[in-house]
Amino acid sequence: MTDPSMPTTVAPQVLLVNHLKTLKLPTFAREYEKVGFECAHEDIDYARYLLRLCELECIDRERRNTERRIRLAKFPATKSLYTFDFAAISVLNKSLVLELMRCEWIDKHENVIALGSSGVGKTHTALALGLAACQKGMSVALKTAAALVHELMEARDEKRLRVLQKQLTNVKLLIIDELGYVPFTAVGAELLFEVFSRRYEHAATLVTSNLPFDEWTSVLGSERLTGALLDRLTHHVHILEMNGESYRLATSKERQKQTAKNKPIEEEEANPI
C-alpha cells in the first residue's frame, strides 16, 4: 500500500506541460513529444530538436497573432486578390494594386483612395489590402463612413471622444468604406475631418467612395471643410480608378441568363413526349 505520509511524485511530463503553459509556449507543450520521437529516429541532436520546436512555436504564434489582428479589424468578410476579377474592371491599374499589396505605403504613412460606382470591387480591394496588412503584422481597423461618424458622435455625447480619437489615430491602417452614400451633419463632418487631420503624415488611411472628389461637398456639407480634408488626404496618395459596370450586377445577369437557358431543358425532362 502507498504510504499517505510520503510526498506524491508528479510525473515530469505533467510538470513540463505546466511550465510550458506558464511560459505561454502551447506549441512546445503540444509537439515536444512527437518532435522528440522524430528527432530520435532521424538521429538529430538536442540543439536541432530545440530549434525545430522553436520554429514550430514561432509559426504557430504568428498564425494566432494574424488571426487576432484580422478579428480586431472587424472585416465584414475575409477577401483576397485571389478571388478578384481584374478582367471585369479594365480601368483598374492591376500593377499598382499588386504593388500596394506589399504594404510599403502603410509604413510610409501614405493614403489610398478607391473611386468608382457601386459594385465594382472597391470594398473587395480594400479588404484584400487590409488582409495583407494584417498578415504583415500591422494593426487594421475597417469602418463604413456612416458608422464611423455615428460612433464619433456617440463618443462625444458620452465624453469618451478623446479615447476613441486616440485609438483611431494609432491604428496603422484605417479603412473608411463607402464615403459618399450618406450625407453628414455639420458636427459629423467636422468629427470625421478631425480623424483625417490627426492621421495626416502619422498613419495610413484607405478610403472608398462612389463619388468623384468634386462631389464630396454634397456629403461633407462645406466646401471649406471638403477642401481642407482633400488637401490632407491627397498629399501622399495612390488613387485607384474603378469606374465600370457593376460586377455584382453583371454576375446577377449572367446567373439569370444561365437559369433561363437551363429552364427549357428542365421543362422537357419534366414533360417528356
Residue 16's pLDDT is what?
Answer: 85
Could you read off the pLDDT of 128-162 as tens digits, one per residue? Answer: 999 999 999 999 999 999 999 999 999 999 999 99
57 and 144 housed in the same domain: no
Residue 34 lies in a domain: yes
pTM of the shown model: 0.80
Q: Residue 123: which domain range?
A: 74-249
| Geometric angle at alpha carbon 200, from 196 and 206, rounded to 5° | 60
Residue 32's pLDDT is what?
Answer: 86
Residue 2's pLDDT is what?
Answer: 52
Residue 265 lies in a domain: no
Task: List b or e across 57-80, with b for residues whose CB sees 16 or more CB atoms inside 10 angstroms.
Answer: beebeeeeeeeebbeebebeeebe
Residue 188's pLDDT is what?
Answer: 97
46 and 102 housed in the same domain: no
| Geometric angle at alpha carbon 101, from 97 and 103, rounded to 5° | 125
Residue 194's pLDDT is what?
Answer: 97
Distance from C-alpha of 103 to C-alpha of 40, rounded to nearest angstrom:
42
Cβ distance 117 to 202 under 8 Å? no
Category of 162 on φ-ψ map: left (φ > 0), alpha (ψ -120 to 50) or beta:
alpha
Q: Which residues contact 241 (CB under 8 A, 6 or more apart)?
A: 91, 92, 93, 115, 116
Residue 222 lies in a domain: yes
Residue 88's pLDDT is what?
Answer: 84
Percent of the chain's residues with pLDDT above 70: 85
Residue 256's pLDDT is what?
Answer: 60
Q: Which residues pair with 112 in a beta bridge?
A: 206, 238
Residue 269 lies in a domain: no
Instruction: For strands 173-179 and 140-144, give the pairing.
Output: parallel
176 and 49 housed in the same domain: no
232 and 123 housed in the same domain: yes
Residue 236 lies in a domain: yes
Instruction: Please report which helix (H) or strand (E) contains residue 242, including its range.
Output: none
Backbone angles phi, psi at 241, to 5 degrees: -80, 120
Residue 6 lies in a domain: no
Could you read off the pLDDT of 46-72 as tens digits, one per residue? Answer: 899 899 999 999 999 999 999 999 999
Q: What total number of domains does the chain contain?
A: 2
Cell numbers that stand for 64 in this block: 494566432
Residue 228 lies in a domain: yes
Backbone angles phi, psi at 43, to 5 degrees: 60, 45
Residue 258's pLDDT is what?
Answer: 61
Residue 222's pLDDT is what?
Answer: 94
What are the counts of helices (DSSP H) followed by strands (DSSP E) for the chain? 12, 5
Residue 42 lies in a domain: yes
Category of 198 on φ-ψ map: left (φ > 0), alpha (ψ -120 to 50) or beta:
alpha
In this prediction, the residues of the chain whose per-residue pLDDT falls under 70 are 1-10, 244-273
